[in-house]
Structure 1
Amino acid sequence: MNDTCPPEQHHEYFFWWKEGLATLIVGITGLIANSIAIPILLSKKLISIFNRLLVSLAIFDNIFLFCTLSETIRRNFHNSDLQTISFIYIFYPLQNISAVCSIYTTIGLAAERWLAVSRPVEYHLSVNANGARPWKRVTAYVAPILIFSIAYNIPKFFEVKPRVNVIYNQTEYDPIAKTHVVYNVTQMDFDLTGIRMNEDYVFYYVNVSRLIITGIIPLFSLSYLNM
């Protein structure tokens, strides 16, 4: 890097390395590691409710990582209209949903461990009872988590909207019409919607509720279950 570069360019270089390349490397590493772990945890030798919950956690984490990698590529390496539309309507809300799912699946893992340690006899009987289905018990954790995460993050589908930017005008001669035609060269971008800019929404939903849902409740739950 040239030391004579202005501070703004130094910041751009730092941002590219930190938010771009470093995020890409860490994200891909996590995605590969989780993908390798899933079939191993599903093997017959490692069959257990705890391991199947770990599989669910790995899947949610992979969804989160995929959304993060997609946005990293869009912002730092290559941007197209399709990527922007996908971010607005798919990856942005899905990233938030998968993050909440990961947090509460971790709490589910802690709860399962707490039951096994604090009530070993009852836990052993319930898990190994005739007709007991491990996936049924796992579903009892995952289904409510998934439903809650989707319901809680419904507003995320309405926080951003597409915007078309005119990059430049291009003039071409039309030999048939025998006239010059002006074309707008555009690029898709996005804006925050009115709901996302609303002060009450930002305070109560973005700040207060997310602090409680993704911070305080998980903190106290995990602290109690790991005592």
Structure 2
Amino acid sequence: MIMESFLSFEFIMEGIILIGVGLFGIVGNILCISWFASKTAEKSFHQLMLTLAIFDLMYIIFSVILFGIPSLFARIYSYEEFNHLVSHILPFAQISLTGSIYLTLAISVERYITVCHPFFKLYHSWSSLVYIIPIVIFAVLYNIPKFFEQRVQALTSTVELGEDKFNITVISVEPTQLRSDPNYIKFYMIVLNVLVNGIIPLSLLVILNITVYRKKGELFL
């Protein structure tokens, strides 16, 4: 009974709702990409927003494939092609997430400089590539270990039915030795992820936005 309730909850939340919200997000980000692409010649802000929308779109698509579709069609894991797809998509999903987080931070930095240091902004007309290139490089380099966390494994077992024997092969995505290492889990997956994808960008976002809010308040006084 409990298992049926869990499966039903997973089917509804990670299947129907996640895919529904994901489709809404995909359409929304495609519209944003189209709109910001027509504005990229105007400001670096639009170029940053365009890049952010691309990273967000990638992350939503990968999340739907990784979590939404399997929740609706559990048997999809029996297909070898899907297992190989999952093992390759997961690292790119993490790259998209890291890129999205730091592009959001870059937009806050750009707004902070514009509002709080307008003369610096005036005399230092930076290209958006100053933000985008380092973030893309960092997102890829930081998540390189993710490419070595999983492997597709084929397990063959023999089943006897009377006098007949049948070989059954099960394809699954299994953790590698790296993914099972306690130090890797502790320092990279927990400590570093909390700092890099959580505490550091969130703290900077709070500080930058509070500073911008106060500066705007002073301008209107």
Q: Is this a same-fold pair by TM over 0.5? A: yes
Which is further off, 115-124 or 26-35?
115-124
Q: Which amino acid aligns with 2:44?
A: I
SS where residue 174 of structure 2 aligns?
strand
Q: Which amino acid aligns with 2:142?
A: Y
Q: Of 9, 13, 21, which residue of structure 2 is paired with 1:14? A: 9
Q: Of 154, 158, 166, which residue of structure 2 is paired with 1:164? A: 154
1:1-227 counterparts in 2 under 5 A?
6-44=1-39, 47-71=42-66, 72-77=68-73, 79=76, 80-88=79-87, 90-127=88-125, 137-166=127-156, 184-226=167-209, 227=211
Q: Which amino acid aligns with 2:96?
A: S
Residue matched to 2:214? none
Cα gap change, 1:221 to 1:192, in 2 (>3 Å)? same
Cα gap change, 1:209 to 1:45, in 2 (>3 Å)? closer
Cα gap change, 1:150 to 1:46, in 2 (>3 Å)? closer
Cα distance in 2, alignment partners of residues 63 and 114 from structure 1: 27
Cα distance in 2, alignment partners of residues 148 and 44 from structure 1: 26
Larger Rg: 1
The Cα shift of 1:183 comes to 5.6
- Whether contact under 8 Å (2:10, 2:71) holds in the other structure is no
The Cα shift of 1:54 comes to 0.6
- Whether contact under 8 Å (1:170, 1:185) holds in the other structure is no
Residue matched to 1:174? none
- Whether contact under 8 Å (2:58, 2:93) holds in the other structure is yes
SS where residue 110 of structure 1 aligns?
helix
- In the TM superposition, what whole-angstrom CA distance separates every residue of 1:123-143 from its partner, at most 9, and x where no partner exists? 13433xxxxxxxx71111111
The Cα shift of 1:103 comes to 0.4
The Cα shift of 1:18 comes to 0.7
Q: Which amino acid aligns with 1:109?
A: I
- Whether contact under 8 Å (2:40, 2:47) holds in the other structure is no
Cα distance in 1, alignment partners of residues 171 and 60 from structure 2: 24
Q: Runs (4+) of structure 1 moved beyond 6 Å?
A: none
TM-score computed with the length of structure 2 as normaliser: 0.84
Identical-pair percentage: 28
Cα distance in 2, alignment partners of residues 46 and 74 from structure 1: 41
- Whether contact under 8 Å (1:161, 1:190) holds in the other structure is yes
TM-score computed with the length of structure 1 as normaliser: 0.82
Residue matched to 1:130? none
